[in-house]
Amino acid sequence: MQIPAAFFTDYHVHTSISPCAREEMTLERIIERAERRGYRAIGISDHAYPETCERILGLRREVEALDTGLEVYLGCEVDVLHDGSLSVGADLLAELDYVLAAPTHSLQMFDPDGADEDARREQIERWFALSECCCDHPVLDAIAHPLRGLGGGLEAEPLLNGLEEGRVGRLLDKLRAAGLALELTDSMENYRSACEGIRRFYGAAERRGFLFCPGSDAHGLDRLGHQWHAVWLYRDLGLHGTRMWRPGGERPR
């Protein structure tokens, strides 16, 4: 399958600074792998916690010292906490090239098949609430894996089918007005079981003029640039390069 030019970029890559990433994920090895694959740009987006902040900012010197033809950006992935605040302060985030918001990290490992209707509805309500909180933080640029927590690697359809179309549209309108992009991602492991719900969500976003961010969420070198489902979605939606977000580009309004 021929890969669209937009996917020779990856703005969601973790180094070993992230507790969940492999030790092999050094900046040098990431750049080497990206160069071998013919990439044009790479974005480092480690998990931003109080204990990782100093090391994330320390990467700036390493990025500036690189001898590479790649565009290399230093960002991070920040959690949206239950009260709507971010896992680190905006002063740190302002020093980075871009910030991915992860409103759904706290929603993972939920099994909709083993839950009753009340538990499913609670999960959906939390997804809506945390996603909407992203609008309150101007320092944010894009939402990482926006549908995670409605699947979490388990069967996704029960929750995706429980989303009210009108309410999803209102949420997307708010995110769009806040100038946020949406990540196109492979992070829904059971993609086939949820593909119709995923298409509906991204299709509604496409009609609203969103920009989309290519990102693999790589925690190991074998996952770098692994975006096959995102490529299919890109084609299904009839997207083109001008609809793809990049760090430093104009915010979608």
- If one counts every other C-beta atom within 10 angstroms of the C-beta of residue 155, the result is 16
pLDDT at residue 154 in the model: 39
User: Structurally, how many domains does the chain consist of?
Assistant: 1
Residue 253 has pLDDT above 70, yes or no: no
Assign 3-class secondary structure to 210-247.
Answer: CCEEECCCECCHHHCCCCHHHHHHHHHCCCCHHHECCC
Residue 226 has pLDDT above 90, yes or no: no
Residue 122 has pLDDT above 70, yes or no: yes
pLDDT at residue 111 in the model: 66
Taking only the tens place, the pLDDT of each residue in 190-217 is 455 557 778 888 999 999 999 999 999 9
Residue 129 vs residue 252, higher pLDDT = 129
Average pLDDT over residues 144-170: 73
Distance CA 140, CA 78 (A): 9
Residue 229 has pLDDT above 90, yes or no: no
Residue 232 is part of which domain span? 5-237
Comparing 74-88, 109-123, 167-181, 219-233, the range with the smallest average pLDDT is: 109-123
pLDDT at residue 156 in the model: 52
Residue 92 placed within a domain: yes
Taking only the tens place, the pLDDT of each residue in 47-86 is 999 999 999 999 999 999 999 999 999 999 999 999 999 9
Residue 114 placed within a domain: yes
Does residue 182 contact residue 143 with C-beta atoms inside 8 Å? Answer: yes
Residue 141 placed within a domain: yes
Residue 186 has pLDDT above 60, yes or no: no
Residue 243 placed within a domain: no
Residue 248 placed within a domain: no
**CA distances from residue 145 to 27, 62, 213 in whole angstroms, order as listed:** 23, 27, 10
CATH of the domain at 114: 3.20.20.140
Residue 130 vs residue 150, higher pLDDT = 130
Upper half-sphere CA count for residue 207 (Cβ side, 13 Å): 9
pLDDT at residue 225 in the model: 80
Taking only the tens place, the pLDDT of each residue in 173-182 is 999 999 999 9
Does residue 129 contact residue 161 with C-beta atoms inside 8 Å? Answer: no
pLDDT at residue 113 in the model: 65
Residue 250 placed within a domain: no
Average pLDDT over residues 41-48: 97
Residue 48 placed within a domain: yes
pLDDT at residue 152 in the model: 42
Residue 155 has pLDDT above 80, yes or no: no
Residue 46 has pLDDT above 90, yes or no: yes
DSSP β-bridge partners for residue 10: 42
Residue 161 placed within a domain: yes
Residue 142 parent element (H or E): strand 142-143
Average pLDDT over residues 221-239: 85
